[in-house]
Amino acid sequence: MKFFLGSFFGLLLFCLSNMTMGGQFEMQAIVYPPLVYEKDGKLWGVAPEVVKEIQKLVGDDSKLKAIPWLRAYEKTQQEEMHTMFAIVRIPEREKLFKWVGPIFNEGDYFFKRKGNSLQVNSLEGATKVKRIAVRSGGYTHQALAASGFNNLDVGPSYESSYKKLFAGRVDLVLMGELTYYYMVKHAGLDPADFERTNCKFTDSGAWLAFSRDVPDEIIDNWQKALDTLKANGVYDGIIERNFKH
């Protein structure tokens, strides 16, 4: 009987330990090079590397998987224990999720097709161009619309926005000053065919967004783990590896 009870409680402790330390989340990665990209069936980039390092510190082994942006955006709002990365944190999204980050920061500028004589030096000037391409429901769409831009050409993806700009169908696209190079290449285009204007819209940060049901204690633990990575140099090494061009 003693052997049976000892075995039973040992198994119980083992199960409880795994419940505490095991996978807790549906981890949804949004492909956005170089923050997230797929290669040989695996996820690479700044966000997956940062997430995996955080997981080591907090004891989580939830599996990471790529998922379309809109599906992840909706599931993280509607279903329990979901997270998506990386997503820009803006006022319009603030109350939809719980946040950990930022895991990346950059300045967002309006870009034009190289060789275009168009001069855009201010936000007022950007509001006066004929068309600015944005992805439906994405950060650029939401942020520009909230800022009063009514000249938005709404499309299904970032790739379609870049191709419209390359083809001369729109005048501008809002892109990150660092990530644009990788995003344009991912769309099959040459970054040299695009030129940054002098008009900066804002600074933006990419964050991990968690469903609202996730306990605050877990959010705090993930944030503390990220802060640790930034303090001990691991985070800087991840950034350096992924921005080499």
Please indicate, yes or no, whether residues 100 and 213 belong to a single structural domain of this protein.
yes
- How many domains does the chain divide into? 2
Is the bond into 29 cis (omega within 30 degrees of 0)? Answer: no
Reported as half-sphere exposure (CB side, CA atoms, 13 A), residue 16 has a value of 6
Q: Report if residue 10 sits inside a domain.
A: no
- Report H helices in 22-129: 46-58, 69-78, 123-127
Please indicate, yes or no, whether residues 61 and 177 belong to a single structural domain of this protein.
no
Residue by residue, pLDDT tens for the chain (245 residues) are 443 344 344 333 333 433 444 678 999 999 988 999 998 889 999 999 999 999 999 999 999 999 999 999 999 999 999 999 999 999 999 999 999 999 999 999 999 999 999 999 999 999 999 999 999 999 999 999 999 999 999 999 999 999 999 999 999 999 999 999 999 999 999 999 999 999 999 999 999 999 999 999 999 999 999 999 999 999 999 999 999 86
Please indicate, yes or no, whether residues 56 and 136 belong to a single structural domain of this protein.
no
Q: Report if residue 19 sits inside a domain.
A: no
Please indicate, yes or no, whether residues 147 and 181 belong to a single structural domain of this protein.
yes
Please indicate, yes or no, whether residues 90 and 163 belong to a single structural domain of this protein.
no
Residue pointed to by tokens 């966000």: 47
Please indicate, yes or no, whether residues 184 and 138 belong to a single structural domain of this protein.
yes
Q: What is the spatial distance between Cα 166 and Cα 194, in angstroms, rounded to a whole number?
A: 8
Please indicate, yes or no, whether residues 50 and 121 belong to a single structural domain of this protein.
no
Determine the pLDDT at residue 11. 37
Please indicate, yes or no, whether residues 186 and 214 belong to a single structural domain of this protein.
no
- The β-bridge relationship of strands 152-155 and 37-39 is unpaired
Please indicate, yes or no, whether residues 95 and 213 belong to a single structural domain of this protein.
yes
Q: Report if residue 4 sits inside a domain.
A: no
196, 111 in Cβ contact below 8 A?
yes
* CA-to-CA separations, 169 to 113, 163, 166, in angstroms, rounded: 10, 9, 8
Q: Report if residue 231 sits inside a domain.
A: yes
82 CB-near residues (< 8 Å, 6+ apart): 25, 26, 28, 72, 75, 76, 210, 211
What's the chain's length in residues? 245
75-104 burial, b at 16+ Cβ within 10 Å, e below that, comes to bbeeeebbbbbbbbbeeebeeebbbbbbbb
Q: What is the domain extent for residue 60?
A: 25-105+205-242
Please indicate, yes or no, whether residues 111 and 153 belong to a single structural domain of this protein.
yes
Please indicate, yes or no, whether residues 81 and 126 belong to a single structural domain of this protein.
no
- The β-bridge relationship of strands 194-210 and 26-29 is unpaired
CATH, residue 213: 3.40.190.10
Please indicate, yes or no, whether residues 209 and 98 belong to a single structural domain of this protein.
yes
